Structure 1
Amino acid sequence: MPILGLAPSTAPIQPVHFDIEKVIRPNILALHPYRCARDDYQEGILLDANENALGHSIPRSSHQIQQDLSSTLDSDLNRYPDPSHDGIKSRIASLRSLPGKDHVFLGVGSDEVIDLLMRICVAPVTEKILITPPTYGMYSVCAQVNDIGLVRCNLNLSGSEGEGGEHGRFSLLVDNIKATVLADPSIKLIFLCSPGNPTGTLISLTAVKAILDYEPFKGIVVVDEAYIDFASEGASAVSLIKDYANLCVMQTLSKSFGLAAIRLGIALAQPPLIQVLSNTKAPYNISTPSAQLALAALSKEAVQNMRLKCQTLVESRKQLQKSLESLSALGVGDVIGGNDANFLVVPILNKETRLPDNVRANALYAELAENKGVVVRFRGKEPGCEGCLRITVGTTEENEMLLQQLQSTLNDY
């Protein structure tokens, strides 16, 4: 089996008795890695990766914060970083109304948390995780890397757009999940993305509790809340942690805090699971510069700035949705999903049939990125997302340029 991403070589291999493909584990050779937004396009108006278009919220005017940050190069960078970062954990615990730092784990992005949860909970080959497509792609990538099984229970793909709550489009099909875990006791983790990526839809706390309370399931429910600060107040599953030892909530500083570059992910759970994660992680996983930026971002002033920027993006999301609806005659369908994140998912329709059209959507995506300087994300291959583009909410100027170029391009495709 060739190594994915490496061009074939005719050069002789030395020594002749060595074959790397016989050394690498078969599940790794077969792995299709997670495709990042930046793998495709790195320039232009970047509305493809759900980043915070308004930037980070660390106040530039705060003398104390600037003093702390300016001392980064004066820090003992020749020394290993603090392995625990209790100051950051305490601020996160306070922000999320948890008892203390023993309820908080820090990872190199949420991806490290995902990988660690699989390594500590799921035995390779013999045990499995459950995911609910359409959902974040790293769950399945990490499962293959760790050589564990993957079970899919789709979200509700057919709920009408007018419905909400437990029965709307992209809601959780609780009975399907219960039946699946009852039939397969090897499932150890259930990953729920809320608000979902790429759906933008919240999973109700009622649905989450129904899984947590389901006695036949002996594993852990993991709720990925990367976009939770863009949703309504009281939507977070963190409020359930005090009552459920079988719950882990993941959050991040990448989205609402606008700090994707520092790669800081968060796990929130009762102390026993947090301690096992801490026992298993690499000794110095969070760097000193990242920690200093995170601490500044969690100051009271910075958190207030973050919330104001989230409000601005939510208002911009509503306006962008209205503007997209005005392009319906050109083949832009109604926005789908719950719209609880900092992006929208919109189907591109066939000019004649008025049905979602993957070919047209993909062509539009490529034309916008390669010739119009606007990069969105094609998501048409995800279940329930045929013909869809996912569009991150940008600045006012970016949204205007998107709409201008989208309208122009739709006339030609």
Structure 2
Amino acid sequence: MSDQISLDALLRPDLRGASPYGAPQLDVPVRLNTNENSYPVPEDVVADITARVAAVAPELNRYPDREFTELRTELAAYLSRTGGVELEPAQLWAGNGSNEVLQHVVLAFGGPGRTALGFTPAYSMHPLISTGVGTTWVDGLRGQGTDAPFDLTVESAVEQVREHQPHVVFLCSPNNPTGTALTLDVVEAVYAAAERAVVVVDEAYAEFARPGTPSALTLLQGRPRLVVTRTMSKAFAFAGGRLGYLAADPALVDALRLVRLPYHLSAPTQAIALAALAHADQMLGTVEAIKEQRDRMVAELADLGFAPVASDANFVLFGGLVDAAATWRDLLDRGVLVRDVGIPHYLRVTAGTPAETDAFLAAAAEVATTATTTATSRATDRSSS
């Protein structure tokens, strides 16, 4: 007897018709669409990774340290050294990429009958993670009460928190896909207004922030509902290593143990992450070079007639486009893959190596005359004169 019920009918109703997360993975000369670090892992770090994995390989018949004690100790040491605040291992938690630790937070504090609030446009995984575990997602908005479309003001954020009374609040700083960072007064105000919510500050791109940009790590003391998430995928050039982490009050970290899968960090994952942290200064050695290319793109895109957004991340959102999808295709035809993030008239490009920046800017120059509203306006002015 054949099955008469389709899988779609069995799927949760709230997931029917939804699209999974994913950026195009195309074989093109210049890939600048996923905010990866374009620089390869240094050879001596590769050697250390290989040695550490070899050391744990004979014991892969045993489960790994489920508390990943050594890794949490080294993560706490790294953040204490670079984040402007002293942290203890009990305040650290890690997972297979920052998405997993974000999911742990929503599993523990969200769920059916509860609400998560984020201020969009922001990281598209925040709503996917929330709805994936049955949490109602609310699209808060940026640019309310301001001429800057991607700003989030204290007044707007607090008003939206009070309106929706969420159980989890997502703040993103620097924000993906806009590259804009938050001031700490926004975080403080949201935390105070969201009296019954866990407030998550996603700092995946924090290492790329411009001088003087503060980290929410400095606000953790005395705020037991505050969470700051980080990743090794970006600045550490370790996207394939899949290691994300968070810092929070020890009691909140302890709550995450209730929802994590058993032994969720494998022994090889812990080993390679420890190797990267042991070489942290070297792994972060490309950050300044990437920031230089980012700032170069902001300046030169503006000269070409585009409207780039000043960025604290390793990417640039640029607008002024007549048709973002058409420009995306025109750049791809020239061997350059950028990201269409779904914001009308905008695209996002990752800051890579100088050679990649050269290729992108050359392609952008070729399409600028037809791609930008500035060029179109100039052409209209000429035709009517």
Rounded to whole Å, the distance in 2 between the matches of 1:62 and 1:224 is 27
Shift of 1:239: 1.1
Structure 2 letter corresponding to 1:155: R
- Partner of residue 197, structure 2: 219
Q: How does 1:125-140 map to 2 (within 5 A)?
A: 126-140=113-127
Residue deviations 1:85-117, cap 9 Å, x none?
Answer: 111111111111243211011111111122221
Aligned length: 365
Rounded to whole Å, the distance in 1 between the matches of 2:326 and 2:11 is 37
Moved over 4 A (4+): 157-160
- 1:87 equivalent to 2:70? Answer yes
- 1:37 equivalent to 2:23? Answer yes
Matched-pair contact (CA < 8 Å) for 1:103–1:268: yes
Are residues 23 and 66 of structure 1, via their aligned partners in 2, closer, same or farther at CA, if it must alter by over 3 Å? closer
* Alignment counterpart, residue 346 of structure 2, candidates 384, 388, 403: 388
Residue deviations 1:152-207, cap 9 Å, x none?
Answer: 221126745xxxxxxx552323323323333343x101100100001101111111
TM-score, length basis structure 2: 0.87
Matched-pair contact (CA < 8 Å) for 1:193–1:223: yes
- Partner of residue 341, structure 1: 313
Q: How does 1:394-409 map to 2 (within 5 A)?
A: 394-409=352-367
- Partner of residue 103, structure 2: 115
- 1:363 equivalent to 2:343? Answer no
Residue deviations 1:198-224, cap 9 Å, x none?
Answer: 11011111110111223x631111000
- Partner of residue 240, structure 1: 219
Matched-pair contact (CA < 8 Å) for 1:60–1:66: no
Matched-pair contact (CA < 8 Å) for 2:144–2:156: no
Rounded to whole Å, the distance in 2 between the matches of 1:115 and 1:121 is 10
SS at match of 1:397: helix
Which residues of structure 1 form unaligned runs of 5+? 1-13, 161-167, 350-356
Matched-pair contact (CA < 8 Å) for 1:181–1:217: no
Q: Root-mean-square deviation (CA), in Å? A: 2.3
Structure 1 letter corresponding to 2:330: E
TM-score, length basis structure 1: 0.82
Rounded to whole Å, the distance in 1 between the matches of 2:300 and 2:213 is 29
Matched-pair contact (CA < 8 Å) for 1:153–1:176: no
* Alignment counterpart, residue 151 of structure 2, candidates 168, 171, 176: 171
* Alignment counterpart, residue 372 of structure 1, candidates 307, 310, 334: 334
Rounded to whole Å, the distance in 2 between the matches of 1:290 and 1:43 is 29
- Partner of residue 206, structure 1: 185
Matched-pair contact (CA < 8 Å) for 2:154–2:186: yes
Matched-pair contact (CA < 8 Å) for 2:49–2:271: no
- Partner of residue 190, structure 1: 169
Structure 2 letter corresponding to 1:387: H
- Partner of residue 292, structure 1: 271
Rounded to whole Å, the distance in 1 between the matches of 2:51 and 2:38 is 25
Structure 2 letter corresponding to 1:223: V
- Partner of residue 71, structure 1: 54
* Alignment counterpart, residue 303 of structure 1, candidates 280, 299, 304: 280
Are residues 94 and 234 of structure 1, via their aligned partners in 2, closer, same or farther at CA, if it must alter by over 3 Å? farther
Which residues of structure 2 form unaligned runs of 5+? 81-85, 372-385
Rounded to whole Å, the distance in 1 between the matches of 2:151 and 2:197 is 22
Higher fraction of helix:
2
- Partner of residue 36, structure 2: 51
SS at match of 1:318: helix
Rounded to whole Å, the distance in 2 between the matches of 1:154 and 1:211 is 14
Rounded to whole Å, the distance in 2 between the matches of 1:303 and 1:250 is 18
Identity of aligned residues (%): 29
SS at match of 1:114: helix
Rounded to whole Å, the distance in 2 between the matches of 1:291 and 1:200 is 30
Shift of 1:142: 1.8
- 1:326 equivalent to 2:303? Answer yes
Shift of 1:67: 6.6
Matched-pair contact (CA < 8 Å) for 1:182–1:217: no
Matched-pair contact (CA < 8 Å) for 1:103–1:274: yes
SS at match of 1:140: helix
- Partner of residue 265, structure 1: 244
Matched-pair contact (CA < 8 Å) for 1:254–1:261: yes
